[in-house]
Amino acid sequence: MNVFRQLKDYYWPERKFLFASIISLMFATALGLVYPNLLRYLIDDVITPLQFDRVPGLALLVVAVVSLKGGLQFLHGFFGGRLGNRVAYNLREALYRKLQYLSFPYYDQARTGDLMSRLTADLDGIRQFIGFGFAQILNVILMIIFGTVMMMTINWKLTLITMITMPFLAYTAIRFESKIHPSFRNIRNSFSSLQTAVQENITGVRTVKSFAREPHEIDKFASRNEHYKVNNISSAGIWARYFPLMEIFANLSVVILLGVGGSMVINKQITLGELVAFFSLIWYIIGPMWGIGFHINAFTQARTSGEKITDILNQYIHVKDQPNAIELQSDTVKGHVQFDRVTFAYPENSPALYDFTLDAKPGSVIGLLGGTGSGKTTVVSLLMRAYNVKDGAVLLDGRNIKEYTIDSLRSQIAIVFQETFLFSSTIRGNIAYGRKDCSMEDIIRAAKLAKAHDFIMELPDGYETIVGERGLGLSGGQKQRIAIARAILTDPKILILDDATSAVDMETEHEIQAGFREVMKGRTTFIIAHRISSLRHADEIVVLDGGRIVQRGTHEQLLQQPGPYLDTYRIQYADQPAPDNTKIAKLERRVAH
């Protein structure tokens, strides 16, 4: 029950529906005890003495009891449904809120399909059990207690003899629960894996088809589908082993009752009406105990689902506001960024940055160059507080960025990622995503600076054109220019371009950079790029290799030094002669055009 104690904050505020549902079910259950007594009365006081004039009144009483019980069961279903859906709403809101604020380290390990499963199937399991399962389990307990007490009032000896198999039935049910819980956990895990495979395949369908990997994807899905099937068959095997045993013990009680009870009727120790009432009461008890496996099943599924849900809710947020963190005000931010001897490593990986030091003056442009895994993206990730720095410090305007609230810090930073993401919305909505209060004129101005306005106006609905999922329907360059416009519109003090022009041609890149030079004025800008042409106007270029700074300087200074920068330059401009002091200016003019 530890899982449900952890979830108490989500269902206890709705306890009025819980209590109403339980009370309605309890009274409906109590009315069920009227039937055995009516049967005893019918046989002993109506049929045996031939008092048939009592039948109409007895029939009306049965109708009244049935109607009242039906009304109480309706109330149980109504309040239980309200409870389950309200709890599901509260949990869904809490889960989504937690997912929004979980740090990058969590998403580095999480799988999309698994998270989707927790927000759908697992949440529905919790909804069903909290809405009805709690009340049903309590109902089973009450039915056993009420039924046993009433049987004891009729004949306590017959009760003890009849109940002799009940401990075996209870033991079998408990053993069943201990086996079925791990089985359902395996089913949930394999289902999450299966859902992840489907989600990844649909998202990456273009990649799959471009490499003709459909057979591979079919085999991968078949493997996970087989695993899911095997786990379900294993669960079915557990049910097949334990349910017949429970049925045997249940029916054995009936056999004992008929044998011993029939003998007692013959010997005048009990009346026939009492035996019939006893027979009705034993099924009143056996029914819940026989069906306890179903309730254990519901409880086990809910517990398994609850474990997955609480796993998210209990996740530690690695990056969060410190106590007394201050709000950055846009009118006071200068944009002076400093990295002071920063060393950083991702979990279970070797350090991505070693002793990294950088001083970016307000309004300066910093270029970051290096191969894959050299640490370029790590630099800007630390600036955004995607991860916390442990060794060294990142400063903004002379203060450690940990002293600022995360929201206010990131509101002063705009980033254009190398991998562009667009929402399934209008182009206008995608450009305006990072800013709440913007006019259409602001959106158009940002689009023009990003060289996106012309192709947008050629689309069927212009800025109101709906973008397909993840930007499908647009070219890579078009998506990237929309992302650039989105960043420009936020009017940040710090601008980060993570290989932002990698998906556009050289001519478009030159046009965008011309617009950037206007946007960069008064802003501290970090440019991550593989093209020398994107970095040559930077105030300082930092060349990284294996997380270490191997070169730094301006474009002209680095061209005069042997090293990775010059090697990269020669590769990209292989048709040009090696630069020297007399030819650099002429060569630069040619590159610019």
480 part of a folded domain: no
Number of independent structural domains in the chain: 1
The total number of residues shown for the chain amounts to 593
Q: Which band of pLDDT confidence, cut at 50, 70 and 90, is reported for residue 467?
A: confident
Separation of alpha carbons 519 and 500, rounded Å: 14
Residue located via tokens 């008064």: 522
Does position 582 have pLDDT exceeding 50, yes or no? Answer: no
Residues 113 and 193: beta-carbon distance below 8 Å: yes
Q: CA quadruple 433, 435, 437, 438: dihedral positive or negative?
A: negative
Q: Percentage of the chain surpassing pLDDT 90?
A: 17
Does position 586 have pLDDT exceeding 50, yes or no? Answer: no
Does position 583 have pLDDT exceeding 80, yes or no? Answer: no
Does position 171 have pLDDT exceeding 60, yes or no? Answer: yes
User: What residues make up the domain containing 285?
Assistant: 2-313
Give the pair of three-digit tokens for residue 148.
């046993």
> Could you read off the pLDDT of 139-156 as tens digits, one per residue?
888 888 888 888 888 888
Residue 581, pLDDT score: 43
Q: What integer is the mean pLDDT of 447-461?
A: 87
C-alpha atoms less than 13 angstroms from C-alpha of 10 in its C-beta half-sphere: 26
Neighbours of 467 (CB within 10 A): 21
Residue 109, pLDDT score: 78
Does position 345 have pLDDT exceeding 60, yes or no? Answer: yes
> Could you read off the pLDDT of 353-406 as tens digits, one per residue?
999 999 999 989 999 998 888 888 889 989 989 888 888 999 999 999 999 998
Pairing of strands 391-396, 524-528: unpaired
> Could you read off the pLDDT of 196-213 as tens digits, one per residue?
788 778 777 767 776 677
Domain with residue 142: its CATH number is: 1.20.1560.10
Q: From edge to edge, which strands make up the β-sheet containing 524-528?
A: 413-416, 494-498, 524-528, 365-370, 540-545, 548-553
Residue 511, pLDDT score: 62
Residue 176, pLDDT score: 79
More confident residue, 105 or 556: 556
Residue 593, pLDDT score: 42
Residue 285, pLDDT score: 81
Average predicted confidence (pLDDT) for the chain:
83
Residue 585, pLDDT score: 45
Does position 587 have pLDDT exceeding 50, yes or no? Answer: no
The one-letter amino acid at 427: I
Separation of alpha carbons 153 and 389, rounded Å: 73
Least confident stretch, 312-321, 451-460, 487-496, 510-519: 510-519
Provide the b/e sequence for 232-248 (b: ≥16 CB within 10 Å): beebeebeeebbebbee
Q: Which among 470, 499, 497 has a CA at the least distance from the CA of 486?
A: 497
257 part of a folded domain: yes
Residue 531, pLDDT score: 78
Give residues with Cβ within 8 angstroms of 395, minimum separation 6.
336, 337, 338, 339, 340, 401
Least confident stretch, 200-204, 277-281, 574-578: 574-578
**Can you tell me whether residue 424 is helix, strand or coil?**
coil
385 part of a folded domain: no
Q: Which among 80, 94, 181 has a CA at the least distance from the CA of 129?
A: 80
Residues 118 and 306: beta-carbon distance below 8 Å: no
284 part of a folded domain: yes
How far is Cα of residue 491 from the mean position of the Cα atoms in its chain? 32
Q: What integer is the mean pLDDT of 114-119?
A: 80
Q: Percentage of the chain surpassing pLDDT 70?
A: 90
Residue 289, pLDDT score: 72
Separation of alpha carbons 369 and 33, rounded Å: 81
Q: What integer is the mean pLDDT of 539-554?
A: 91
561 part of a folded domain: no
Burial of 548 (0-12, 13-18, 19+ CB in 10 A): middle
Least confident stretch, 186-195, 314-323, 451-460, 521-530: 186-195
Q: Which among 551, 556, 522, 529 has a CA at the least distance from the CA of 361?
A: 522
Q: What integer is the mean pLDDT of 535-558?
A: 90
Residues 522 and 492: beta-carbon distance below 8 Å: no
Q: What integer is the mean pLDDT of 424-437?
A: 85
More confident residue, 580 or 381: 381
17 part of a folded domain: yes
421 part of a folded domain: no
Does position 234 have pLDDT exceeding 80, yes or no? Answer: yes
Does position 508 have pLDDT exceeding 70, yes or no? Answer: no
Q: Which band of pLDDT confidence, cut at 50, 70 and 90, is reported for residue 591?
A: very low
SS3 of 520-584: the string is CCCCEEEEECCCHHHCCCCCEEEEEECCEEEEEECHHHHHCCCCHHHHHHHHHCCCCCCCCCCCH
Residue 396, pLDDT score: 94
Q: What integer is the mean pLDDT of 97-113?
A: 81
Longest dimension (CA), the chain: 128
Neighbours of 48 (CB within 10 A): 12
DSSP result, 143-160 = HHHHHHHHHHHH-HHHHH
Full-model pTM: 0.70
More confident residue, 117 or 570: 570
Q: Which among 290, 297, 300 has a CA at the least distance from the CA of 251?
A: 290
Q: What integer is the mean pLDDT of 34-46?
A: 79
570 part of a folded domain: no
Residue 557, pLDDT score: 92
